[in-house]
Amino acid sequence: MNLLAVSHGLLPMFRYPVMGPLDILGDSDAGILDEDLRAVCLGALAIDPAAARELALSFSWRRAAMQFLDNVRLANGETLDEAPFVPATA
């Protein structure tokens, strides 16, 4: 996925339906996943670039770090309803 290009509204996401693209797109309307390359290309023409941009902008390094820390907490037997880790801001 080229989230940078999508975040600038350059193109919607369209890919082969495998982990990664499936995780990012989920059930959003920001892209198309199909095993048929022709269907993917034609479907991409109908996708609103603003929807793709909105989805791409929902990702950040901070969100990725928080998701990683949540997984570490779960692996250590904590529950996520306990007080979350809040990193210091610079």
Q: Mapping DSSP to helix (H, G, I), strand (E, B) and coil, where does residue 87 land? A: coil
What pLDDT shows up at residue 1?
45
Q: Give the pLDDT confidence score for residue 75 in this predicted structure.
A: 94
Please state, in angstroms and rounded to a whole number, the distance separating the CA atoms of residues 19 and 64: 16
pLDDT tens sequence across 4-34: 666 666 556 567 788 877 877 888 888 888 8
At residue 85, the pLDDT reads 60
For 40, other C-beta atoms within 10 Å of its C-beta total 17
Q: Coil, helix or strand for 15?
A: strand
State the pLDDT at residue 3: 62
CA distances to 3, 24, 49, 80 from 67, rounded to whole Å, are: 18, 14, 26, 11
Helix (H, G, I), strand (E, B) or coil at 32: strand
**Around Cβ 39, how many Cβ atoms within 10 Å?**
13
40-88 pLDDT tens trace: 888 888 888 888 888 888 888 888 898 899 899 899 998 887 666 666 6
